[in-house]
Amino acid sequence: MEKDELVKKHIGYIKMMVDKGGPEKQEYSEFSDFLYEIQMLKANGIFLEKELTEIRKAFKDTLSKETIQGFIYLKPHGYSGDFEIIDKIYLSDISDNPKYRNWDIYAHTLDATIAVRNRKKYFKNIFGEKINKTTSLSILNIASGPSRDIYEFYAENPNKSITIDCVELDKNAIEYSKNLLNGHKVNFINENIFRFATTKMYDVVWSAGLFDYFSDSVFIKILQRLISWTKLGGEIIVGNFSTNSKAQPYMEFIEWKLNYRTQEHLMELALKAGARKNQIQINQEPLGVNLFLHIKKV
């Protein structure tokens, strides 16, 4: 098929989908085939930005910030994975508007969004287990975003005492977190992790939803700093999306770009950051889409 015909075909498909109110369950596999085909056409250099823009236009206001996919694509806070979209994903936020509803439901069925919700559970499980074994726990949380994980941890463990310092670049994320946490004791440091320095040492240094944006060399450099802020006997935990995610074509189409990594790749980066093999463990949430690199400081 000629390029123009391909563009027309895909525009026609999306227009039809938009007119009928977005994909329904029985159409998910057809819609993911569409996304996969777009990804292939782009990878093979057949579709360039111009063609993708034309196809995105066919989504009309279902690619506005009223929908999950539009919010991701338009990045109203100026960057991908901001506190607001992460919290919408945590809360499985679905528009009341029938025009947008099915698009949001679709977005929340993807393995990527389920994995984000699972990582919140992972956070609560890890810190729940750790606090049960000790009387106090000091945590450094790098790139804390909306703090929904901390909020729920406190709600579910009302009598436990933890000290959390959160390093977060976005002032609005901090304000949002403070409102959500409503008086819970959390110390926010409005700083870029590239400039952040501390002499304090922590039992656990945690970071999820940040290292996926780093190149390998930046990953190693920042991981070395995390290791240096961890007490002997403590632990560093870093989340990273896995190459297993089947949502990659969708994420690419709405321009949420991540560095997906395998377990072996994370192991290699941890070794390069100076950890020894027997200190490293790589875990995952139930879908195997969000991986967690654990390094024990010995």
What residue ranges bind ligand SAM (CB under 6 A)?
A: 81-83, 86, 119, 143-145, 149, 167-170, 173, 192-194, 208-210
Shortest distance, CB of residue 229 to ligand SAM, whole angstroms?
14
Residue 104 vs 170, nearer CB to ligand SAM: 170
Residue 41 vs 167, nearer CB to ligand SAM: 167
Q: Residue for token digits 């956070």?
A: 123
Shortest distance, CB of residue 225 to ligand SAM, whole angstroms?
12
Shortest distance, CB of residue 295 to ligand SAM, whole angstroms?
18
Shortest distance, CB of residue 51 to ligand SAM, whole angstroms?
29
- DSSP letters, 188-237, are EEE--TTT---S--EEEEEE-SSGGGS-HHHHHHHHHHHHHTEEEEEEEE
In the bound complex, which residue of the shown chain has the CB atom lying closest to ligand SAM? 145
Residue 52 vs 266, nearer CB to ligand SAM: 266
Residue 101 vs 178, nearer CB to ligand SAM: 178
Measured at the CA of 151, the angle between CA 221 and CA 281, to 5 degrees, comes to 40
Question: 128-132 contacts: CB < 8 A, separation 24 or more?
Answer: 128/153, 128/156, 128/157, 130/203, 130/204, 131/157, 131/160, 131/162
Beta pairing partners, 296 = 235
Shortest distance, CB of residue 245 to ligand SAM, whole angstroms?
15
234 contacts: CB under 8 Å, gap ≥ 6: 201, 202, 203, 204, 205, 296, 297
Residue 83 vs 253, nearer CB to ligand SAM: 83
